[in-house]
Amino acid sequence: MQFENIIRQFITDGEVLTCERYGSGHINFTYYVVIENNGVKDEYILQKINTVVFKDPDLLMNNYVAVTSYLKKVIIANGGDPMRETINVIPTLDGKNFYRAENDECWRLLVFVKDNLSYDKVETPEQFRDCAEAFGNFQYILREFPAETLKETIVNFHNTPDRYNNLMKAVEADVCGRRAEVEAEIEFAKARKAFTETFETAREQGRIPLRVTHNDTKLNNILFDKHTGKAMCVIDLDTIMPGYAMNDFGDSIRFGATTAAEDEVDLSKVNFDIKLFEMYVEGFVKGCNGGLTEAEINLLPEGAIMMTLECGMRFLTDYLSGDTYFRISRPSHNIDRARNQFKLVSDMEKSIDDMRAIVAKYSK
């Protein structure tokens, strides 16, 4: 069986029945594993950590285990199921939280969250509200987690001005000779340079706090319960770091409050969905349980635009740099994604007054 040797670094008993590619994440290499032991079949997720993206897997996995152990205690105290409501990391036989192979590949084994449903696109407004409440609540639960013990797994991950500078460097370097075909997208980003500084400036002026945030709040980074349909488990914990509440909000809006997939090429199909925006505001503010300041709530519309613009700039940077970061399945994948995100940014900018009016309804 594929990766049998790797699996045996974690589990010696039983027969590996299945080990196959799984999910639609852009970063890690994820496999679904089934092991049968004495007639009982157990399911796992085996992941090869993307060490181009996460340069320090020890640091990453220390964060990961610290956060999941903390969440586990909270879930147990609330009478929940710690095997389904958070990720459980299985240690290697010698007690490490991941396995570093001789070729330096880094692998982790996770308990598979049983009977889950995962979505790449919002199916009903209620589902999106539920997802919002879960991500908001995730942030609320982590409010007392000692933030100073968390290391940055990707430095400047959601530092949007830094992302802008990286884009400009990629434009200058133009290593693939792709610059000429994306001048319009480069100009689009340049016109928004001042906007990218909104949160960093607010933070420097003490107007918004840093919190422990998830930083990758895509709909497919939450698992729903097959039986109840409810949001159940926040996953993809690689980027939990200090960050801004508005960015966790905004990244979900970027991915979910749209009429098309993130890589839809026909831009006439890509429209911002204000109804879904409202559902998400309602759920997120509720999930945060009164924990958001007025300044944070007022900046939620900017969070949506910020994360969409930032992600578009990141896709464009990767396209110019030769597609070394995000997984692609066609040569134009990253530029298609960038154009898609910039279309959404334009839509959101046109709807900013409506977004503000909606947010005001939920402001304290």
Q: How far is CA 306 from CA 44, 250, 300, 331, 344, in A?
A: 35, 7, 10, 26, 11
Q: Kindly state whether residue 239 participates in binding ligand GN1, applying the rule CB under 6 A.
A: yes
Contact string (CB under 6 A) for ligand GN1, positions 16-35, x = contact: ---------xxx--------
3-state helix, strand, coil in the chain (%, to 5): 50, 15, 35
Q: CB neighbours of 125 closer than 8 A, spacing ≥ 6?
A: 275, 276, 279
Q: Which of 2, 3, 18, 30 binds ligand ADP (CB under 6 A)?
A: 30
Distances in Å between the Cα of 61 and the Cα atoms of 92, 238, 276 are 13, 8, 34
**Does residue 318 bind ligand GN1 (CB under 6 A)?**
no
Out of 50, 97, 215, 221, the residue judged to bind Mg ion by CB under 5 A: 221
Residue matched to tokens 């090869």: 48
Q: Is 28 in the site for ligand ADP (CB under 6 A)?
A: yes
Is 64 among the residues that bind ligand ADP (CB under 6 A)?
A: no
Stretch that binds Mg ion, among 18-26, 169-177, 178-186, 258-266 (CB under 5 A): 18-26
Give the list of residues 6+ apart from residue 180 with CB closer than 8 angstroms, or none: none
As to burial, measured by CB atoms within 10 angstroms (0-12 exposed, 13-18 middle, 19+ buried), residue 32 is middle
Question: Per CB under 6 A, does 273 bind ligand GN1?
Answer: no
Minimum CB separation of residue 119 from ligand ADP in Å reads 9
Of these partners, ligand GN1, ligand ADP, Mg ion, none, which one is at the site of residue 262 (CB under 5 to 8 Å by kind)? ligand GN1
In 119-228, which residue ranges form alpha helices assigned H by DSSP? 125-141, 160-173, 183-190, 193-196, 198-204
Instruction: Rule CB under 5 A: say whether 153 interacts with Mg ion.
Output: no
**Residue 256 touching ligand ADP (CB under 6 A):** no
Residue 311 contacts which entry, ligand GN1, ligand ADP, Mg ion, none (Cβ below 5-8 A, type-dependent): ligand GN1
- Closest alpha carbon to 301 in 282, 283, 281: 281
Sign of CA dihedral 307, 242, 296, 201: negative
Per CB under 6 A, 53 contacts ligand GN1: yes
Give me the least distance between CB of 43 and ligand ADP, in Å please: 8
Name the residues that contact ligand ADP, by CB under 6 A.
Answer: 22-23, 25-28, 30, 45, 87, 110, 112-113, 116, 118, 220-221, 223, 235-236
Name the residues that contact ligand GN1, by CB under 6 A.
Answer: 25-27, 53, 216, 218, 221, 236, 238-239, 262, 311
